[in-house]
């Protein structure tokens, strides 16, 4: 078993390990939701945060953060997650409304509530893949809220380091129809072999006209940023050691490999979208976001 696998298998729910990062992103989305200039609205996020003992006392409004926007975690990092949510909301909606795909696969879905909050066209199916403990927690909170999805939602409890294809196709995914795939805040936690398998499989299961978005970190040496305000504040305020959770292996060039397989891919810094939307993080010294890229890829119709 690799070091990453060992680190990530210890706790399967949201109470620790990589599952806790889903609560961190949910708290960031809750804060974003209540900003006067918010880029994305997620009314479910604060309910997830309040429901888990591990996060029950985390802030869900910026006014609950003593140093407000100056706080590296709940200010700048939360704005990063708010921007990412908005950009990927737009990607998914564009892909289904304009591109015509009707099946959506969310890898490492965590506490993503898009099935409940976005405007999906008729006939869509959203497959949410995450580990069993995370999806069970999510189910309990949503059921407590009597939340009703705005499309067909199919949670799939499976570990992405295992054979997830059987679970996905067994749940009704149709490789003959165009699809849209999303790996948001996920790949850097996976061993390289699992990322490669994911990309190869997405290609194999994607009909022409499919689209994929994913987030990568390009730093050659992640540890170069170990003293950055984002990593240290996340560790000290939440007890989440992101660098300890990330796979330390050199990452593959997934965008390049998709291009070699005939996809067209574009690679963007988050800062480009900060400029486009007029808010979000900008580059700074010793920046843990320096290597983050958002990749958008399309498989041509044959």
Ligand X SMILES: C[S@@+](CC[C@H](N)C(=O)[O-])C[C@H]1O[C@@H](n2cnc3c(N)ncnc32)[C@H](O)[C@@H]1O
Q: Which residues of the shown chain bind ligand X in the complex (CB under 6 A)?
A: 8, 18-19, 21-22, 25, 108-112, 130-131, 134, 159-161, 184-186, 189-190
Quote the least distance from Cβ 212 to ligand X, whole Å. 14
SS3 154: strand
Nearer to ligand X, 10 or 256 (CB): 10
Closest CA to 279 of 85, 94, 80, 90: 80
Nearer to ligand X, 110 or 270 (CB): 110
Nearer to ligand X, 39 or 190 (CB): 190
The residue whose Cβ lies closest to ligand X is 110
SS3 268: strand
Quote the least distance from Cβ 184 to ligand X, whole Å. 4
- Burial (0-12, 13-18, 19+ Cβ within 10 Å), 123: exposed
Q: What is the DSSP letter of 120?
A: P
- Helix or strand (DSSP H, E) at 292: strand 292-298
Quote the least distance from Cβ 181 to ligand X, whole Å. 12
Nearer to ligand X, 96 or 186 (CB): 186
Nearer to ligand X, 23 or 209 (CB): 23
Quote the least distance from Cβ 213 to ligand X, whole Å. 11
SS3 264: strand
Quote the least distance from Cβ 19 to ligand X, whole Å. 5
> Which residue(s) pair with 154 in the sheet?
127
Structure tokens at 236: 């000290």
């Amino acid at each position: 078993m690799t070091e990453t696998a060992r680190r990530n298998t210890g706790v399967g729910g949201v109470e620790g390990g990589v599952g806790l990062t889903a609560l961190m992103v949910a708290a960031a989305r809750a804060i974003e939701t209540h900003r006067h200039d918010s880029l994305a609205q997620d009314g479910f996020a604060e309910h997830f945060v309040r429901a888990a003992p591990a996060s029950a006392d985390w802030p869900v409004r910026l006014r609950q953060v003593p140093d407000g926007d100056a706080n590296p975690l709940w200010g700048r990092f939360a704005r990063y997650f708010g921007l990412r949510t908005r950009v990927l909301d737009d990607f998914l909606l564009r892909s289904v409304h304009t591109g015509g795909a009707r099946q959506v696969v969310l890898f490492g879905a965590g506490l993503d509530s898009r099935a409940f909050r976005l405007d999906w066209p008729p006939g869509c199916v959203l497959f949410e893949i995450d580990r069993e403990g995370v999806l069970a927690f999510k189910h309990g909170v949503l059921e407590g809220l009597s939340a009703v999805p705005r499309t067909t939602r199919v949670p799939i409890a499976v570990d992405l380091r295992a054979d997830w294809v059987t679970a996905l196709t067994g749940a009704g995914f149709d490789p003959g129809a165009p699809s849209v795939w999303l790996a948001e805040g996920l790949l850097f936690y996976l061993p390289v072999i699992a990322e490669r398998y994911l990309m190869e499989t997405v290609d194999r299961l994607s009909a022409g006209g499919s689209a994929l978005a994913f987030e990568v970190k390009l730093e050659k040496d992640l540890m170069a940023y170990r003293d950055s305000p984002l990593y240290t504040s996340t560790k000290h305020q939440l007890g989440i050691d992101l660098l300890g959770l990330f796979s330390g292996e050199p990452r593959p060039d997934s965008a390049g490999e998709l291009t070699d397989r005939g996809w067209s891919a574009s690679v963007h810094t988050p800062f480009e979208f900060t400029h486009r939307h007029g808010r979000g993080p900008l580059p700074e010294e010793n920046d843990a976001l320096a290597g983050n890229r958002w990749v958008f890829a399309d498989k041509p119709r044959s």
